[in-house]
Chains A and B, each alone.
Chain A
Amino acid sequence: MTAATISAQQVKALRDATGTGMMDSKRALEATEGDVEKAKDWLRQKGIARAGVKAARLAAEGLVEIYLHHNHHLGVLVELNSETDFVARSDAFRELAHELAVHIAAADPRYLRVEDIPSAVLERKREEIRAEAIRQKKPAAVIEKIIDGKLGAFYEREVLADQRWAKDDTRTVQQVLADAVARFGENLTVSRFARFKVKDNGETEEQQ
């Protein structure tokens, strides 16, 4: 492995993650064949990077909003991202983040996007619907259609992006965000949320 095979982007990524100097970062990447995670460990082994050093620079703009129900039994945390700090500071953006937090409190989504549903959950759901359709003696030709339809309803119930917007059920959360993108003129994303309700058995609902 020669120095030439380590790209400037790799060095930058390692520097941003560890706060170490350029030459040390480069040496670490050379020693670990460009594997950033291994390079982090290498830097710590050599005593160059300290443990627990957090990423020096974070990639996204945006804000974190909370909602707390008046009885303190329900709380929501949500992160809404924008491309620029300028948009993130605007009142309209804050208002949108607040409305999202309130929506999550009311609509109780479990996942951020359809892709976040674990495949085992999806498979189980699919089999459940199939078994029910067979029990109802539906013709084999329509069973796949029934599964698609019922999965759609499942997404609408459990997936934030697919839920009906609590304040206006003619639009989904996805559509509300798309409208906001058009209004702000830059891309917006909900990157994660957490919703805690007392006595939900301590099961975490954090979505990354």
Chain B
Amino acid sequence: MAISADQVKALRDATGAGMMDSKRALEATNGDLEKAKDWLRQKGIAKAGAKAARVAREGIIATYVHHNHQLGVLVELNSESDFVARNEEFRHLAHEIAVHIAAAEPRYLRREDVPNEVLDREKAIFEAQASDQKKPPQVVEKIVQGKLNDFYKREVLLDQAWAKDDKRTVDQLLKEGIAKLGENITISRFARFKVGEAS
């Protein structure tokens, strides 16, 4: 069904959710603003946008070590208040993220953390692959963009599909945490060591 720009704006103003999320919510609820708010809350999207701008400086360190001690993970999850950092649900989330990192092997936290040399190298490979197939330039560009997105989904923690439920990304999981706990929550850093990798 057709959703008007005014409806989207009203929902965005009410919830702080992004434009695409608001549109999806309204489409899913046949344009019913109140139902769309509930839909966003259920998906953990409402509130998250508004809270995400605030600084998270409290938090905890979570660890994971594989039973054979061949693999270990360290991750810092931050909240705004010490109160939330002590919350059982927050601690559970931190633990789950550590387990995810062990399984999904991300190399970077955010897209911005991927060094330019690495991106350029990936792009060069994608371009060479596409031009081998003799595609027109605009198609090549699309293919490269698509492959770059695949690269992010594979290597960037926030873009990875959640190991336990691949319909959501780690970023969405954080947003759900934000909605549930009512504070901004961020991952500030992680380390993942597997024996022999460093040498």
Listed in ascending order, the chain A residues whose CB lies under 8 Å from chain B are: 41, 44-45, 47, 51-52, 54-55, 58-66, 68-69, 72-79, 81, 94, 97, 191-192, 194, 196-199, 202, 204, 206, 208
| Complex alpha-carbon distance, A47 and B85, angstroms | 46
Given contacts A73-B61, A197-B61, whether A64 and B70 have CB atoms under 8 Å apart is yes
Whether a CB of chain A sits under 8 angstroms from the CB of B80 is no
28 A-B residue contacts at CB 8 Å? A41-B124, A44-B125, A51-B122, A52-B155, A58-B194, A58-B196, A62-B195, A63-B69, A64-B65, A64-B193, A68-B63, A75-B61, A75-B74, A75-B76, A77-B193, A94-B69, A192-B198, A194-B191, A196-B74, A196-B75, A196-B189, A197-B61, A198-B61, A199-B57, A199-B59, A202-B189, A204-B189, A204-B191
Residues 112-159 of B contacting A (Cβ, < 8 Å): 121-122, 124-125, 128-129, 132, 150-151, 154-155
Closest residue of chain B to A77 (Cβ to Cβ) is B74
Whether a CB of chain A sits under 8 angstroms from the CB of B91 is yes
Chain B residues positioned under 8 Å from A202 (CB to CB): 76, 188-189
B60 interface neighbour in A45, A73, A204, Cβ under 8 Å = A73
Whether a CB of chain A sits under 8 angstroms from the CB of B62 is yes
Chain A residues positioned under 8 Å from B154 (CB to CB): 51-52
Chain A residues positioned under 8 Å from B70 (CB to CB): 63-64
Instruction: Quote the shortest CB–CB distance from A176 to chain B (angstroms).
Output: 20
Whether a CB of chain A sits under 8 angstroms from the CB of B78 is yes
Instruction: Quote the shortest CB–CB distance from A137 to chain B (angstroms).
Output: 44
Instruction: Quote the shortest CB–CB distance from B193 to chain A (angstroms).
Output: 5
Whether a CB of chain A sits under 8 angstroms from the CB of B199 is yes
One digit per residue, 1 when the CB lies within 8 angstroms of any chain A CB and 0 when it does not, for chain B 179-199 equals 000000000110101111111
B71 touching A74, Cβ below 8 Å = no
| Complex alpha-carbon distance, A79 and B194, angstroms | 8
B155 touching A59, Cβ below 8 Å = no
B193 touching A58, Cβ below 8 Å = no
B199 interface neighbour in A65, A81, A194, Cβ under 8 Å = A81
Whether a CB of chain A sits under 8 angstroms from the CB of B72 is yes
| Complex alpha-carbon distance, A206 and B75, angstroms | 12
| Complex alpha-carbon distance, A55 and B198, angstroms | 12
Whether a CB of chain A sits under 8 angstroms from the CB of B73 is yes
| Complex alpha-carbon distance, A68 and B122, angstroms | 37
B196 touching A59, Cβ below 8 Å = yes
Chain B residues positioned under 8 Å from A196 (CB to CB): 61, 74-76, 189, 191
Given contacts A65-B72, A76-B74, whether A60 and B132 have CB atoms under 8 Å apart is no
A60 interface neighbour in B63, B129, B150, B199, Cβ under 8 Å = B199
| Complex alpha-carbon distance, A97 and B72, angstroms | 13
Instruction: Quote the shortest CB–CB distance from A14 to chain B (angstroms).
Output: 16
| Complex alpha-carbon distance, A65 and B67, angstroms | 11
A45 interface neighbour in B105, B129, B191, B196, Cβ under 8 Å = B129
Chain B residues positioned under 8 Å from A74 (CB to CB): 61
Chain B residues positioned under 8 Å from A198 (CB to CB): 58-61, 76, 78, 85
Given contacts A198-B78, A202-B76, whether A192 and B193 have CB atoms under 8 Å apart is yes
Closest residue of chain A to B61 (Cβ to Cβ) is A75
Instruction: Quote the shortest CB–CB distance from A116 to chain B (angstroms).
Output: 12
Given contacts A45-B129, A72-B91, whether A64 and B61 have CB atoms under 8 Å apart is no
A77 touching B125, Cβ below 8 Å = no
